Amino acid sequence: MRVGISIDPPLASIPARLEHEGVDVYQTVLRDPGRFGNYGVPEPADRAALVEGLRGRHVWGVAHGSLLVNLASPEGRIRNSSVSSLLADLKVAAEVGLDAVCFHVGYAKGHPSADAALILATRKLGELIARMPAGPRLLIENSCEGSELGQTIAELARLLRDVGAPPEQLGLLIDTCHLHAAGFDLAGADSGQRLADALAAEGVLERVIAFHLNDSQLGCGAHRDRHAIPGAGT
């Protein structure tokens, strides 16, 4: 396992920060995560500085997509903006050598059932993958709040199966706070093995590319996205 850190832009600061911390894995953002559109997108000089600073180094990086992404929104405008935002991130990621873009699928709110929302999200995700550039892959990140999709291993596995994209295009990123808050108890000594078994049982263990390692401030099943420093939460 390669352990890394989250580093906010500017991208030019990333090489020195990795060197200082003694790690070769990182996560960043490529635009304002609270907005759609080209807000906060790194300037060409900033992108070039990252590429040059990491030249010849064996570094792995992921960008977190916009927090507004909702591929299951009942509103076509939001679905299309979600696709456009992720495509824009993928293009920048390909340019600067990032390995992946992670994102949350969306919400069932506004649909008669979670099944209807998953069907719509699957269709939009398929459209996105058909248009994505070569290089970085998409990573579905599990969630935990309200009507968010992808809270369980079974639902994540369904999305992967229904989309049908190959592993080099679509994988999973598991956030431990989200999973614990969604009801998968990660507090026990055997929790790592139970998680591996659950992923293997759904046939998606090999699709797990990365983890966000966070504790949860609240208890198992709280369904609240409240991170704590590893070792300081539940």
pLDDT in tens, 4-18: 999 999 999 999 999
- Per the structure block, which two tokens stand in for 183? 């009801």
- Dihedral over Cα of 86, 62, 208, 195: its sign: negative
Query: For each of the chain's 234 residues, which pLDDT tens digit applies?
Result: 899 999 999 999 999 999 999 999 999 999 999 999 889 999 999 999 999 999 999 999 999 999 999 999 999 999 999 999 999 999 999 999 999 999 999 999 999 999 999 999 999 999 999 999 999 999 999 999 999 999 999 999 999 999 999 999 999 999 999 999 999 999 999 999 999 999 999 999 999 999 999 999 999 999 999 999 999 999
| Stated pTM of the model | 0.97
Strands (E), the chain: 5-6, 25-28, 60-64, 100-103, 137-141, 170-175, 208-212, 215-216, 227-228
Q: What is the mean pLDDT of the chain?
A: 97
CA distance 156 to 100: 17
CA distance 15 to 166: 31
Under 8 Å between Cβ of 23 and 54: no
